[in-house]
Structure 1
């Protein structure tokens, strides 16, 4: 049913002027047509509350009692399709006309009533049979509920509801769940058709099933096609962040991307280079980038140091959980990492580039890397760089595992580096940006303006040196040396500092990743410097003069160190020591001050548990011959001798 703008003026929520009503319709994006210098629109396009108010006005104008409002019926009416609502509203107008004309239960429809209805509403739905059906449908219904009562009992797709067995529909949905994401819907319908013919299921035509499938909520369709995780990810509404609340260099996004063209690094082999970039999250300004053959921690550390030297140390780094970004070389010492957080840590955790430069790290949630600013920036500049005409004949396509064929002509590295540098500069200095807080400025201008008032932290040469090293845990041996793999570090100059860590746990040895022969540095487990300038130990040839000279040099250094230690100890001369000892003999010990004898204690025993001591068994004493017995024996012997007897 078409209405003029003046028909809704003064309705609740609608302005009181025609011009105000037109603006109100425009603000709600309600389609308006101009005909005979009037603005027309469909009644069904109005919001539900305004449409109900208009119908109530029409009922009162017809002299009818609106009756009791059925909220449930009107909710069903609002859920119908726009075409179904439009037809129902037209029928409701005709029904009110028939009630006012005295038609009841389809009776009393004269030729005059039919002619008047056609003159008022046109010939559509105004013949005698249609008028009778409308009158019978609203019998006993309050006029305010005519439109819901006259709504067709059709599905939202416009076709009548078809009978579908519950088992058949469950089998159909299970087939889609267990099949691949691109499994044809038609084939799933055929499977149910053939199985249903044997099981006695009701299964309609494919168009009916497709309409029902198409009317399902998106959550059901995505879950059936792609699974639970994909459905959650697709339907989870992303949060919106106000980037104007942060300033440049407060949050810096890190990401790497394989470029879609082939490059010759000078060895004649075509390689798809990898670009690692740091992007300021507040302004989308590309701070710096690095090109390499693959994503590796050394390249990431190099671009971080370069950006800090050029723009100053930033506050926080926001990478994803790639192996190069979460490595010890970059993220060693970070408070929290998603990657490898379940692995047991050793005694010492290696320190990374960000630790030495004082940069905090916040890793993106796993499987949510698209939240980083670098991801969106790469999506913007990828096509403007990768598909440029300068790379004609070297395009690799967008497949990650693409391999070059005979038609590929790789671009020299110098050409690729020059084009990428130029396009990055154009990206940073392009004016007319419309992002948050841009106001027509370029990313470079936004970055410069945002740095006003910021205290720039410049890295020291010592910080940059320590941040360039690769750290490995090692133990100090009894000679003050540390062994890392096949390399040994330590000399006479650092022996004293390192010997204190012998048998005290592991320490960190920092080495130049490009030159292991350079002097190393040592840190303890808490990140405090132990010593620096630790020379590598170079093994000489067996039975060589150079090795003997080196050993002699080490012994001389040891003698010098011992001599210095002896002088530092401040020993007494022999005469002074003798005098001091003699003074001990002349000390008067006060009475009563003698030390108490030590209490009896059980001495240390090793092996078995302590047992009570056994009592010693007393040995039998030797027998003693009485003197009387000896005298009697002597007398008897003498008597025998006197009698001439011989002793036996």
Structure 2
């Protein structure tokens, strides 16, 4: 499009266009040519508004060299202008789509050709013949007449606003019909190509030709079929040949802003399999698994643990390190794996999607600590920023000089030449990893929105943590992450419980006979005291193990007898404390009986009284009551002695 078409005579002279004289000579030229004739008003001349009626003229009144120079100076053609010009016209939608898919070099060449044709078109509108206009354009830009005529043939039957896509290099124009192709042949070729096995074009075309000879189909060339396939939507081709996940990659990644967070407001965790062979204390060689927790605000790694696999114990211990050192976070973003979504960690959470949720399930560690659990999409690195830190470890820390010969490569095709030549001891591995994570947190110049390309992860974390008050755990809560949890039921008679072949008991369990409890224990030492909790997370007490004793061990029997006496004595004292009033005192507090004022109820049934015969020997009933009680006590003591003798 022309950005300018009008100018006054002094302005024409000041532009130094070819063949245009200075202002005085140009005025004589305009008078002799009668440029201001009335019928040309508003066509070749007009009065400029706001300039006291100054007259301006169209550039078309100049000679052809001056017109070409004018158009070259004031013609601007852009892709946006061409697209906006055709509006809602969808007749050439396919051609415009091909133009957008073309390379930038081809688009630039098409714009250059369009500028030449536009100048040619405007010269002809100014009254020049086709041959003269072609001659002027070819002489000005060093083109050949045949080239210009070929360009004109491409757009001969096309609306002016749709010329641009037809001028792409390699585009033959819109006049030629498409090659004939039977619909069945096209369906055969399309169905064969759109398979997960990803066959190439040549094999699909060869099979289609064989099928066409059998069924009498008319088929075009291989290039034509390939062009037809390429006209299908890219998303359809990717889904058919590469899978659903590749189509998801076509959607721009979500940019998550974390500047509005603060330290410990949100954390995320995941496991990372190290590409290093480690020699464990038992002599086995295997790649270790690290479980780590990361702060989302600062990207700082807060805690980590290493084990042979990703298990709940490692996750729980790493969480304990985080809570004890920094505080209790508000939210945690986890994947839905078995270890992270286990009942021990997230039992009782409403958003759990693994295992069957039962009403009587014990509350998990994170549920008791009040950490909101959010499960992200599995195998989605975008949902867990910690994956970015793991990638840094895989690229740098795994190739540490201390791991020479133990590095395995990040995939089976990237094994180093010294693969499997050595294995680093576990102590060395842990020391190098510890130093590497500290350096990762303290490295300056981090290019994140929070660090600003200057600070380190640790600096922004500590600055934010100083401005908030994180929740700190109490002493009783430390059992939550140092022990594993299981649901058990106490004995209905004495309150003891069994776990992994051992029995445990504490006097506080007498108040929880037959109830479901939660025990937290050290999986590496089952002889330590069990920490017992109620199903709703209340700490009840510690239950020591009841050691098994020999059959003929009298000391254990005496210890049991002593425990019984202590329990009986303590219970008797508690009972006396609860029974603050004696029976006589209870009677004294009750209202007095009024026998005179009591209304007697007369029975309607009367039975005749018949006295019984006196039984001989009834004088035996006259035994003294005290002597009878004394004999009963002696018999009970004798029975206890006999039972104790049999027990020993």
TM-score with structure 2 length normalisation?
Answer: 0.70
Q: How far 1:594 moved relative to its partner?
A: 5.7
Q: Which residue of 1 aligns with 2:471?
A: 457
Secondary structure of 2:376's match? coil
Q: Following the alignment from structure 2 to structure 1, what is the Cα–Cα distance between the partners of residues 139 and 254? A: 56
Q: How far 1:232 moved relative to its partner?
A: 4.4
Q: Following the alignment from structure 1 to structure 2, what is the Cα–Cα distance between the partners of residues 393 and 41? A: 68
Q: How far 1:240 moved relative to its partner?
A: 1.8
> Using a 3 Å threshold, how does the CA distance of structure 1 residues 164 and 223 change in structure 2: closer, same or farther?
farther
Q: Which residue of 2 aligns with 1:433?
A: 446
Q: Which residue of 2 aligns with 1:525?
A: 535
Q: Following the alignment from structure 1 to structure 2, what is the Cα–Cα distance between the partners of residues 533 and 330? A: 21
Secondary structure of 2:206's match? helix
Q: Which residue of 2 aligns with 1:286?
A: 301
Q: Which residue of 1 aligns with 2:266?
A: 251
Secondary structure of 2:545's match? coil
- For residues 207-260 of structure 1, the C-alpha deviation after alignment (integer angstroms, 9 at most, x for no partner) is 433344344332111111133x32542233332221101111111110111001
Q: Following the alignment from structure 2 to structure 1, what is the Cα–Cα distance between the partners of residues 160 and 571? A: 113
Secondary structure of 1:245's match? coil
Q: How far 1:376 moved relative to its partner?
A: 1.6
Q: Following the alignment from structure 2 to structure 1, what is the Cα–Cα distance between the partners of residues 161 and 591? A: 121
Does structure 2 conserve the Cα–Cα contact (< 8 Å) formed by 1:280 and 1:286? Answer: yes
Does structure 1 conserve the Cα–Cα contact (< 8 Å) formed by 2:288 and 2:306? Answer: yes
Q: Does 1:422 align with 2:441?
A: no
- For residues 372-417 of structure 1, the C-alpha deviation after alignment (integer angstroms, 9 at most, x for no partner) is 1111221223211112332121111223899999943101122222
Q: Following the alignment from structure 2 to structure 1, what is the Cα–Cα distance between the partners of residues 497 and 97? A: 77
Q: How far 1:147 moved relative to its partner?
A: 6.0
Q: Which residue of 2 aligns with 1:551?
A: 560
Q: Which moved more, 1:518-527 or 1:114-123?
A: 114-123
Does structure 2 conserve the Cα–Cα contact (< 8 Å) formed by 1:96 and 1:143? Answer: no
Within-5 A mapping of 1:289-308: 289-308=304-323
Does structure 2 conserve the Cα–Cα contact (< 8 Å) formed by 1:321 and 1:363? Answer: yes
> Using a 3 Å threshold, how does the CA distance of structure 1 residues 175 and 547 change in structure 2: closer, same or farther?
farther
Does structure 1 conserve the Cα–Cα contact (< 8 Å) formed by 2:335 and 2:377? Answer: yes
Q: Which residue of 1 aligns with 2:634?
A: none
Q: Tell me which of 275, 284, 293 is aligned to 1:269.
A: 284
Q: Following the alignment from structure 1 to structure 2, what is the Cα–Cα distance between the partners of residues 297 and 380? A: 25
Q: Which residue of 2 aligns with 1:395?
A: 407
Secondary structure of 1:137's match? coil
Q: Following the alignment from structure 1 to structure 2, what is the Cα–Cα distance between the partners of residues 586 and 521? A: 55
CA RMSD of aligned residues (A): 4.2
Q: Tell me which of 296, 301, 310 is aligned to 2:325.
A: 310
> Using a 3 Å threshold, how does the CA distance of structure 1 residues 550 and 191 change in structure 2: closer, same or farther?
farther
Q: Tell me which of 182, 202, 210 is aligned to 1:194.
A: 210
Secondary structure of 1:235's match? coil
Q: Does 1:119 align with 2:135?
A: no
Q: How far 1:123 moved relative to its partner?
A: 3.4
Secondary structure of 2:564's match? helix
> Using a 3 Å threshold, how does the CA distance of structure 1 residues 214 and 76 change in structure 2: closer, same or farther?
closer
Q: Which residue of 2 aligns with 1:444?
A: 458
> Using a 3 Å threshold, how does the CA distance of structure 1 residues 559 and 231 change in structure 2: closer, same or farther?
same
Q: Which residue of 1 aligns with 2:156?
A: 137
> Using a 3 Å threshold, how does the CA distance of structure 1 residues 148 and 377 change in structure 2: closer, same or farther?
closer
Q: Which residue of 1 aligns with 2:81?
A: 49
Q: Which residue of 2 aligns with 1:349?
A: 361
Q: How far 1:560 moved relative to its partner?
A: 2.1
- For residues 536-578 of structure 1, the C-alpha deviation after alignment (integer angstroms, 9 at most, x for no partner) is 222323343344334323432343244335533538779x49x
Q: How far 1:149 moved relative to its partner?
A: 8.5
> Using a 3 Å threshold, how does the CA distance of structure 1 residues 464 and 133 change in structure 2: closer, same or farther?
closer
> Using a 3 Å threshold, how does the CA distance of structure 1 residues 396 and 150 change in structure 2: closer, same or farther?
closer
Q: Following the alignment from structure 1 to structure 2, what is the Cα–Cα distance between the partners of residues 388 and 100? A: 76
Q: Which residue of 1 aligns with 2:48?
A: none
Q: Following the alignment from structure 1 to structure 2, what is the Cα–Cα distance between the partners of residues 487 and 41? A: 96
Q: Which residue of 2 aligns with 1:30?
A: none
Q: Does 1:167 align with 2:167?
A: no
Q: Does 1:260 align with 2:260?
A: no
> Using a 3 Å threshold, how does the CA distance of structure 1 residues 454 and 192 change in structure 2: closer, same or farther?
same
Q: Following the alignment from structure 1 to structure 2, what is the Cα–Cα distance between the partners of residues 391 and 42? A: 67
Q: Which residue of 1 aligns with 2:20?
A: none
Q: Following the alignment from structure 2 to structure 1, what is the Cα–Cα distance between the partners of residues 250 and 228? A: 21
Q: Tell me which of 490, 496, 504 is aligned to 1:476.
A: 490
> Using a 3 Å threshold, how does the CA distance of structure 1 residues 114 and 184 change in structure 2: closer, same or farther?
closer
Q: Does 1:590 align with 2:607?
A: no
Q: Following the alignment from structure 1 to structure 2, what is the Cα–Cα distance between the partners of residues 199 and 589? A: 122
Q: How far 1:314 moved relative to its partner?
A: 1.8
Q: Tell me which of 378, 388, 396 is aligned to 2:390.
A: 378
Q: How far 1:532 moved relative to its partner?
A: 0.4
Q: How far 1:10 moved relative to its partner?
A: 11
> Using a 3 Å threshold, how does the CA distance of structure 1 residues 101 and 426 change in structure 2: closer, same or farther?
same
Q: How far 1:494 moved relative to its partner?
A: 2.2
Q: Tell me which of 514, 524, 529 is aligned to 1:514.
A: 524
Does structure 2 conserve the Cα–Cα contact (< 8 Å) formed by 1:74 and 1:145? Answer: yes
Q: How far 1:84 moved relative to its partner?
A: 4.8
Q: Tell me which of 220, 236, 252 is aligned to 1:220.
A: 236
Within-5 A mapping of 1:27-42: none
Q: Which moved more, 1:541-550 or 1:147-156?
A: 147-156
Q: Following the alignment from structure 2 to structure 1, what is the Cα–Cα distance between the partners of residues 430 and 175? A: 60
Does structure 2 conserve the Cα–Cα contact (< 8 Å) formed by 1:154 and 1:161? Answer: no
Secondary structure of 1:507's match? strand
Does structure 1 conserve the Cα–Cα contact (< 8 Å) formed by 2:276 and 2:406? Answer: yes
Does structure 2 conserve the Cα–Cα contact (< 8 Å) formed by 1:137 and 1:149? Answer: no
Q: Does 1:567 align with 2:576?
A: yes
